[in-house]
Structure 1
């Protein structure tokens, strides 16, 4: 089935690796980029591909509200949305909050509140969580705390909030659709894809599921994982992964079959309270 995808943050390193994977599946991709001078780089990614590539020049920094995000969704009319944007550390804390918190949450809410959109996938990171899950070691906990509290405190604040909005609102819509008798494959699926430290290595296998938070994964593998997760029915929830030996597609199918969701260990009640205040 052909899909119409809005890829937010299309000029990012992962997105540039991802775009050919999406187009190779004959999907239509609208790559949303910050400035017109980035357009030639993106257009090259569509050459020789069976899918259709459109480029939308519109900065995520201009998206201040759900209404702003909704206008873009109405223009593109996607059925799937990928959030792969990020301030990348430039512009300091204010820009990080504007992009990774405000705009990310605005697009998340607008997408979930749009009935025609069936999937929303955000590229997060493996330590974006408030609690220590049962499968983490003491060293995992220490590593995550160092990243979240010392190295990337503003980024953590932004990303964990956006992850929680997606988790809570996606579950609410999924459950509502289930009550209405909507088939599982046709319900809304919210996905937080959570890689370890990104590298420039070639794509390879994965270690996926309830795993250590200490490790690396190549951007090329992240791109393959995004495509694999989207094309596999039943993918939803938090998916943690690092470089490993398992085939990406097989790993995704295994998680679904075994019902593994790395959100386990988080306080869903506390999440709902925080999300209600945003």
Structure 2
């Protein structure tokens, strides 16, 4: 079945690899970019594809709250939303917080509060968590602590906040839909895809699920993983991933079948307190 997808951050490296893959599924994509100068680059990605590509010029920096995000969603009318935007380290801490936290949370809230939107996927990163998961070694935890507190402290705060808002609100909507008797395959899917350090290598296999945090993953593999998660029924939760040996699609199916959700060992009650003022 054809889906209408809003891809936020359409000019990013992962998004440019992802767009043709989405269109090849006969899904329709609205690629949201910040500048008219980027439009020609994005339009080329749709050539010869069965899905329809639209380009929306609207900077995420102008999205200050849920109401701003809702206006864009009302205009695009997507079935699914993919967040792959980011400050990319440009503009200092204020810009990182404005995009990776505030705009991301605005779109997350607006999407989850829109009953016609069935899936929201954010591209996060593997170390975005507060607690040491039981399957990590002490070396893994020390590595994550260094990345989060010394290398990327503002980015960590921003992505963690966005991940926690998605996790809490997605669960609340899912629980409500379950109570109402909504069919399992039609219930909301909130997804945090969490790759390790990104590279420009060709796509390959993955290691997905309860893995360590040190390692790399190809941007092209991440793009294939986004498609695989979106097309897999009942895929929801946190998906940690690095380069590995398993086929991407089979890895996603395995995680869903086995109920693997890497949010395990995080505290939902604490998350609710953390996001109360966001």
Aligned residues: 278
Structure 2 match to 1:158: 158
Structure 2 match to 1:103: 103
1:30-67 deviations in Å (ceiling 9; x for gaps): 00000000000000000000000000000000000000
Separation in structure 1 between the aligned mates of residue 206 and residue 184 of structure 2, nearest angstrom? 26
User: TM-score, normalising length from structure 2?
Assistant: 1.00
Gaps of 5+ in 1: none
Separation in structure 1 between the aligned mates of residue 270 and residue 155 of structure 2, nearest angstrom? 20
Match status 1:49 vs 2:20? no
Structure 2 match to 1:211: 211
Structure 2 match to 1:93: 93
Q: Tell me how far 1:277 sits from its aligned partner.
A: 2.0
Separation in structure 2 between the aligned mates of residue 274 and residue 152 of structure 1, nearest angstrom? 20
Separation in structure 2 between the aligned mates of residue 32 and residue 200 of structure 1, nearest angstrom? 22
Separation in structure 1 between the aligned mates of residue 80 and residue 229 of structure 2, nearest angstrom? 12
SS at match of 2:54: strand
Structure 2 match to 1:221: 221
Q: Tell me how far 1:273 sits from its aligned partner.
A: 1.1
SS at match of 2:81: strand
SS at match of 2:194: strand
Q: Tell me the C-alpha RMSD between the 2 structures.
A: 0.4
Structure 1 match to 2:11: 11
User: TM-score, normalising length from structure 1?
Assistant: 1.00
Match status 1:71 vs 2:71? yes
1:77-109 deviations in Å (ceiling 9; x for gaps): 001000000000000000000000000000000
Separation in structure 1 between the aligned mates of residue 67 and residue 104 of structure 2, nearest angstrom? 13
Structure 2 match to 1:38: 38
- Structure 1 runs (4+) greater than 4 angstroms displaced: none
Gaps of 5+ in 2: none
